[in-house]
Each structure stands twice: as C-alpha cells, then as structure tokens.
Amino acid sequence: MDILVQKFGGTSVRDEDSRQYAIKHVKDAIQNNYKVVVVVSAMGRFPDPYATDSLLGLVGDQRTKLLDKEQDLLLSCGETISSVVFSNELKQEGISSIAITGAEAGIITTDHFTKAQIKRIQVQHIQALLQEKQVVVVAGFQGKTEQNEVTTIGRGGSDTSATALGVALQADYVDIFTDVNGIMTADPRMVTSARKIEKVSYTDICNLAYQGAKVIHPRAVEIAMQANIPIRVRSTRMNDDGTLITSINTSSGQDHIYDQFVTGIAYVTDLTQIKIEEEKEPQELHVKVFRAMAEAGISVDFINISPNGVIYTIFNKFEELALEVLERLQLKPTLIRNCAKISLVGAGMSGLPGVTSKIVHTLTNNNIPILQSADSHRTIWVLINNKNLKNAINELHLAFQLEKV
C-alpha cells in the first residue's frame, strides 16, 4: 500500500471554500494511486466557533477551574468535529472515507494531559480501514492514555499527529498543508526579499522552528527525522510541492543548500534582558539567581554566566514577577526591555570562519547595537532592540545573499 499523509491546518479547513481546495489535494493523491490518511486541525481560528481557542473560551481560558484531563476532553472536540465535517464533504464528492478519533487511530500517549507525548501508534485498525476506504480522516492533536483517557498533545500538535502517523504507516510523504507555500528564508512580512526554501534538512528546520519560525512544529520534524520520512510543507490553495524537508547528505557537499552558510533567519520578540553584576561572591549569585527563576516558573534564555555576574533574557510578560523575585534577594538588576533575538541557522556554517564577523559587520554598519550574542555549530544568535528588528533582518538577509537560490 502506498500511503500519503496529508495534514490540513485550521485555516485550511476553516470553511467550505477552503476545504474544497484541500479536497482537491486529496483527489490528486488518490489519482496517483495513494491511500490517504488525512489529519485535520480544529476548524479556523478564534473566534470561529469550533476553533481550539474558542472552545477554551467556553470555560474561561487560562482561568478555568477544570482539571487538565477535562480540558483535554473539551479541546479534543475541535479536531473531532473537523474530521467528521471533512469526511462528509469527501463522501459528497464520491470519495469513500471515514472519520476517526486519535484514540481510534491507535495513538497512545503519556498521561501528561494538555501536553501528552505520543508513545506509540497501534496501526492495525487504521491499516484495516485503509484496505476498505480510499481515505481515513484522523482528528489531529489527540490520543489516548493506556487507560483510554482522552489526551491532547500540546498546541500545534496536529503536525506531530501527522508525522507520527506517517512514521508508523511508513508513508511516502507527510504533506503539511497550510496557508503559506512552504518555508521561507525569513518572515516575508518583515523581509521583502524572503524566498521559499526548496529543500532543507530536518535539523535546519528544527532549529528554525524552535527559534520562532512558525510554519511547522519542531517536535513533528524530530519524529519524521527519526524514521527518515520526508515532509513537504505546502499551500492548500496552490498546486506546488512547497518546501521539502529531508535528510541531506552533508558529507557530499554537493547539495546547493550547503553552498550557503545560512539557510534561514528566525526571530523571537518581546524579550527583556536582565543583567546583574556582582564581583565579590559571583558563584553564590549564579546559584541564587537561577534557582529563584526556576522556583518562580520563569523560563530563562540567552544565559551568560561569568565571574562578573549574570546576563539572561526572559519574556517581557514575566518582567514584573522576575523583578519581585530579584528584589527579595536584594539584587539590583539592570533591565533592557523590548528586545528581539535573531537566529541565523545553517548546517553549512559549522567550522567555517567569517560568519560571526559578517553578522557583526552588517549590524554595526547599520548602527544596530548588539546587546548579546551566542553561538552553536549550527546557529548564531544576536540580541538587539525590537525597534531595530526589521532593519536587522533585512540587512542580514542581504549580507548572506539569502534572496539567491
């Protein structure tokens, strides 16, 4: 059986018009002799009635008194409704199909309700259904525990449902259909010369996704990578293969994407940089500060520990809480609010001299102060002011010639 997994996101199944485009892709796959597993997200975005955030709104959002387990029961309905509506429209087009829940699809998860992890997939049932039907429509974002309790697997989780099913069923491809045609070298709303990436490695996409690129969930990419199942990120409304995510042989050096140091640029905004200087008892300070942040449930990033003190970033929204905690420790932090973290990602930069130099040169030439920086063998990060973000990304995009294939 040649199997294709096609995942349609919330905007792709929002209304009948959008679903018609989605159904066209299902028809194409059937015509190419595929058995198709469709994975759907909940329909639309808030305030569409059956979108995940709308369902959450029914019980008071973050203020809800529900148990996580009960909340999962509610949120899973969004995808369940979507799967049935989609299956109905496939049938109306004469395509034999059936809608099933994540549980019926055999998706077994941990019992960390609201953010469960997929442990394994029992594929027998879905395989049997695929023998009979052309299409099985699976509700994304959900599974069940060993005790048959309904779980959801974290926001944006339908991507992960799709790649996990792709791996379990040994699909030829997992197609992630969305409202953009693939993954771009940078956010096209910010960078006019941003270009679609034709082919990219799992690791580069994972890094970009973890650093703020929103097109695909990084966990979904990690799962596909483990079994080497290719993913395509495609537009529902276009007939284009989008971006292919696959493993690329880095050692050959043949592939054109390795001619460039940098594959893409991602960013995260609304960060606050915290700096605490202390020369007398630096080690005590190190321990004290990070223990206090951890106890307050504040996630820290861009951490720089030195004998002079500590520097790190948090999201703006945690600033008040962080200040309270630090004041209790009688520390005097210096804050820079509204920062943005830019990440330049590319497997090709590993071991190559000159990448950092180009970044520093570009930003300095454009009078953009670098507040902090860090690097790994595949990513270089710089922290700047939010207000310089657009300029910085555009200039870096140009400097690394990302507009060119």
Residues 78, 156, 166, 333: which binds Mg ion (CB under 5 A)?
A: 156
Which is closer to ligand ASP, CB of 116 or CB of 393?
Answer: 116
Burial class of residue 326 in the structure, from the number of CB atoms within 10 Å of its CB (0-12 exposed, 13-18 middle, 19+ buried): buried
CB nearer to Mg ion: give 218 or 264: 218
Q: CB of residue 48 vs Mg ion: minimum separation in angstroms?
A: 14
Q: How far is the CB of 71 from Mg ion (least distance, A)?
A: 19
**CA 5, CA 102: separation in Å to the nearest integer?**
14
CB of 156 to Mg ion, least distance (A): 4
Does residue 157 belong to the site contacting ligand ASP (CB under 6 A)? yes
Nearest-CB residue for Mg ion: 156
Interaction of residue 309 with ligand ASP, rule CB under 6 A: no
How far apart are CB 205 and ligand ASP at their closest, in Å? 17
CA distance 158 to 371: 37
The structure tokens listed for 361 are 């040169």
Question: Is the CB of residue 164 less than 8 Å from the CB of residue 39?
Answer: no
In the bound state with ligand ASP, the residue whose beta carbon lies nearer, of 159 and 187, is 159
Closest CB 42 distance from ligand ASP, rounded Å:
4
214: contact with ligand ASP by CB under 6 A: no
* Residue 157 binding Mg ion, by CB under 5 A: no
Residue 12 and residue 42 in contact, taking contact as beta carbons nearer than 8 Å: no
Residue 155 is a binding residue for ligand ASP (CB under 6 A): yes
Contacting ligand ASP (CB under 6 A), which of 156, 264, 309, 346? Answer: 156
Question: Cα 359 from chain centroid?
Answer: 25
Measure the CA–CA gap between 338 and 389, rounded to whole angstroms. Answer: 11
Return the structure tokens found at 349: 């930069």
Q: Does 10 bind ligand ASP (CB under 6 A)?
A: yes
d(CA 3, CA 6): 10
Give the binding range for Mg ion (CB under 5 A) out of 3-11, 188-196, 358-366, 382-390: 3-11
Give the range of 83-91, 151-159, 244-252, 395-403 binding ligand ASP by CB under 6 A: 151-159
Span from 112-120, 150-158, 315-323, 330-338 in contact with ligand ASP (CB under 6 A): 150-158
Positions in the binding site for Mg ion (CB under 5 A): 9, 156
Positions in the binding site for ligand ASP (CB under 6 A): 10, 41-42, 52, 78, 140-141, 155-159
